[in-house]
Amino acid sequence: MATVRLENLRKEFDAGDIVAVDDVSITVEDGEFLTVVGPSGCGKSTTLRMVAGLERATNGRVYIGEKDVTDQSARKRDVAMVFQNYALYPHKTVFQNMAFGLRMSTDLSESERREKVEWAADMMGIGELLEQKPDELSGGQKQRVALGRAIVREPDVFLFDEPLSNLDAKLRVEMRTEIQRLQEELNITAIYVTHDQEEAMTMGDRMAILKDGVLQQIGAPKEVYRHPVNEFVGGFVGSPSMNFIDVLARPAGDAVALESEDGSFRYQTDSATIDTETQLTAGIRPEDVHVVDTDGIDATVDVVEPVGSDNYIHLDLATDFIVRVDSHVEPAIGDRITVDFDDRDLHLFDPDGEVVNADEQRLSALA
């Protein structure tokens, strides 16, 4: 077990034309499960590869435990990495695939190696596959072997690079739980890269969100979800995505009056104070909006999208405004309905996308 500390990590490609990772500092605590998430090309894999020693940092340091490993080769680092494409040796059996790393990096005897492989195979439920070759296995089984190969080494740190992306949706959900169980049982520090915000939210003790190589926010999933520090994080985390409406904000006594350009969205909030008229963006999550009888915002129903347990009601409200409701709420297209939301669920962002109403009071309300 070990902490992993990234200090001002930077990675440039093509002589500095591409900055893949830009001044990222993160400390992953001992035994913690950190998910790293962001859109394609945001620098997730490059960050992970620098921790693994597969990519050399242009600047900054990587520490595993107290040790500065920045200039150490991958082989010398006590980490095990699991890849999306499994990276198994096709001509070796499952047993040989799992034992290979042990042969290279330890001086265990053959019987000790066998014992360890059998222990890991047992843990992954693949004991009966040990004599098979990878091309005789399903995708899910191959990923179990790849996980078993990582476990068998009992590393200080697990690194996962989108390990479940090649699996079908049902298996992916099963394997998520399995990976979490393993990590908890073995209590090994883990960094898990994914582009799937739901995966990042459900698996991580904390999640780190990257955009254009820059760390946007790091925190417990619930904290990031409730208190995104900027518009990007607000929009990236949560599904369906947060609704955003451009509004003019005016001082109204101690409160702030918000109005969209077309006048369809009007709301008064106590969550911020301003001195002069300001252009802001209001962010409201679809699940934070409720259909009410009176006293709210009136809007016309454009589309009702059933997704099983819920309905997504699309409203013509300054934008395509989505409300997530129970599937029993089924207004007809063209109906006028009234919606409302709690002032605490309103996120206000300035023109740079930074949140402006995340005050102490709201943060302590969550705790």
Question: Which range of residues in 13-21, 256-264, 336-344, 345-353 is near ligand ATP by CB under 6 A?
Answer: 13-21
> Which of 13, 85, 103, 112 touches ligand ATP (CB under 6 A)?
13
Q: Which amino acid is at 65?
A: G
Q: Locate the DSSP E strands across the chain.
A: 4-13, 18-28, 33-37, 59-64, 67-68, 79-83, 157-161, 189-194, 206-211, 214-219, 243-252, 255-260, 266-269, 278-284, 289-292, 297-306, 310-317, 319-326, 336-341, 346-349
Q: Which two tokens stand for residue 16?
A: 């500095």
∠ CA 38-40-42, rounded to 5°: 55
Query: Does residue number 2 form part of the binding site for ligand ATP (CB under 6 A)?
Result: no
Query: Does residue number 15 form part of the binding site for ligand ATP (CB under 6 A)?
Result: no
Q: Which two tokens stand for residue 252?
A: 């109204």
Query: Does residue number 155 form part of the binding site for ligand ATP (CB under 6 A)?
Result: no
Give first-to-last CA distance, the chain, whole Å. 29
Query: Does residue number 272 form part of the binding site for ligand ATP (CB under 6 A)?
Result: no
- In contact, 190 and 182? CB cutoff 8 Å: no
Query: Does residue number 44 form part of the binding site for ligand ATP (CB under 6 A)?
Result: yes
Sheet holding 33-37, edge to edge: 79-83, 157-161, 189-194, 33-37, 206-211, 214-219
Q: Which is nearer to ligand ATP, 161 or 259 (CB)?
A: 161
Q: What part of residues 200-239 is at the interface with ligand ATP (CB under 6 A)? A: none
Residue 254 is classified by DSSP as: T
CB 222, min distance to ligand ATP, A: 24
> Which of 46, 217, 243, 311 touches ligand ATP (CB under 6 A)?
46
CA distances for 78 relative to 30, 106, 155, angstroms: 14, 12, 5
Query: Does residue number 35 form part of the binding site for ligand ATP (CB under 6 A)?
Result: no
> Which of 1, 31, 41, 345 touches ligand ATP (CB under 6 A)?
41
Query: Does residue number 60 form part of the binding site for ligand ATP (CB under 6 A)?
Result: no
Query: Does residue number 56 form part of the binding site for ligand ATP (CB under 6 A)?
Result: no
Q: Which is nearer to ligand ATP, 19 or 257 (CB)?
A: 19
What span, in angstroms and rounded, lies between the C-alpha atoms of 235 and 244?
A: 8
Query: Does residue number 18 form part of the binding site for ligand ATP (CB under 6 A)?
Result: yes
CB 131, min distance to ligand ATP, A: 34
Q: Which is nearer to ligand ATP, 216 or 281 (CB)?
A: 216
Task: Point out which residues bind ligand ATP (CB under 6 A).
Answer: 13-14, 18, 20, 38, 40-46, 195
